[in-house]
Amino acid sequence: MTLRRFGVILLSVTLIAAVSVPAVLASLSSGPDLDQETSVQGQVSVASIETQADLGRFLFFDKRLSGNNATSCSSCHLPDETWTDGQALSTGYTSVEYFRNTPTLLNVSHMTLLDWDGRFDGADMAALVRDHIAEAHFMNLDGRLLVERMLQVPEYAESFEQLFGVEVNYANVLNSLAVFVATLESTDNPYLDFKAGNENALTAQEIAGLELFEGKAGCSSCHSGDLLADGGLHVIGVPANPNIFTNTARHITFRRFFKQFGVGEFAELRSDPGRFALTHNEADRGSFRTPSLLEIGRTGPYMHNGVMETLDDVVRFYNDGGGDTQNKDNLLQPLNLTEDEIGSLVTFLRSLSSDEPPFDVPTELPPYEVTN
């Protein structure tokens, strides 16, 4: 049984309702199914558009959703990279150099807050999709042009009529993408097996790491619940990634973003202010969303700016009590872990990753209709 099978998607015309992760997540015990949304490798075609998730799947890989027909959602969220891009800092529209790390899309439909600064409500995935399609840094496409393009593709036009009873419209494009993203969920992992009662699922070292995670290291203070994330934002003092300020292209993008949010000192900033850009409250400076730790072993580099290459780097950062910033969360204190304890904790964190089955990328996208 996969996470997909107990998550129920409630869809309105313009809003994806919140999908909570029930307690039974911890009892997952078997591998993934291959259902109507997952076909035999290499055999996906436009004939597969039977559900809204199928439609969203094709749209996700379609570069016509960008202004220059060269960028798709999958340009930054690659199935083979655990739905990240595997880079410390992402690359956007027409090779724009961005200043934040690409988070995984696995389990994102269950998150309370979306984006590193938490500026999107997890209950409205469609709003995040709209932002990323329209944002100049990402896909830079006006929604009206997107609709006109879709109307010129017979298979898409027919699919919208069949699924929604209306012609292509922006809301249904956004919602279809959101429904597809909601299907991207982790399968089982050793930690969940162990929590479900399989005492042999974790090794002795992994169990020692779990005990540290829940005890001396205090990780579970913020990484709690079924997703190992508290749904909040915290200031932990992550050091700036120098590449943002030595790479001119990244620095330009950085400045433009924070100018857009009305951060007065955008030209002088030498670290990402995070949530502060939205609230302009000094207590929020450097505050970022707590990510889920599911799949953490497969989704490096780490932190909002990819400044930490390995899980060992992350654990040592926390062992030192986090970074040096005045408004750091009081939960962060030096942990005084030994080298053996650091090793056990890192080993446990790796057990939080699943063996994700191969994903069938559409091998055929519907063409524009050619008219004389």
Domain 3-21+42-181, second-level architecture: Orthogonal Bundle (1.10)
d(CA 23, CA 226): 7
pLDDT at 45: 59
Q: Specify the 3-state DSSP secondary structure of 120.
A: strand
pLDDT digits (tens, 9 = 90+) for 122-171: 999 999 999 999 999 999 999 999 999 999 999 999 999 999 999 999 99
Residue range 190-350, CATH number? 1.10.760.10
Please state, rounded to an integer, the average pLDDT across all residues of the chain: 88
d(CA 103, CA 106): 9
Would you say the C-alpha torsion 340, 342, 347, 352 has a positive or negative sign?
positive
pLDDT at 179 over 80: yes
Q: Specify the 3-state DSSP secondary structure of 95.
A: helix
pLDDT digits (tens, 9 = 90+) for 318-366: 999 999 999 999 999 999 999 999 999 999 999 999 987 789 898 888 8
Q: Specify the 3-state DSSP secondary structure of 288.
A: strand
Looking at per-residue confidence, does 121 or 365 come out higher? 121
Residues of the chain above pLDDT 70, percent: 87
- Please state the rounded mean pLDDT for residues 1-19: 34
Question: What is the phi/psi pair of residue 106, to 5°?
Answer: -65, 125
d(CA 363, CA 30): 29
pLDDT at 36: 32
Residue 152, class by beta-carbon neighbours within 10 Å (0-12 exposed, 13-18 middle, 19+ buried)? middle
Residue of 158, 176, 182, 183 whose CA lies nearest to 14: 176
pLDDT at 224: 96
d(CA 150, CA 160): 10
DSSP alpha helix (H) spans, the chain:
52-60, 125-134, 143-151, 154-164, 170-181, 190-195, 204-214, 243-246, 248-260, 276-279, 311-319, 339-350
Question: What is the phi/psi pair of residue 91, to 5°?
Answer: -115, 135
Residue type, 239: P
pTM: 0.86
d(CA 335, CA 217): 6
3-21+42-181 against 190-350: fold identical: yes
pLDDT at 1: 36
The residues spanned by each domain of the chain are 3-21+42-181, 190-350
Long-range contacts (CB closer than 8 Å, 24 or more residues apart) made by 153-156: 153/64, 153/366, 153/367, 153/368, 153/369, 154/366, 154/369, 155/46, 155/49, 155/366, 156/55, 156/58, 156/366
pLDDT at 371: 52
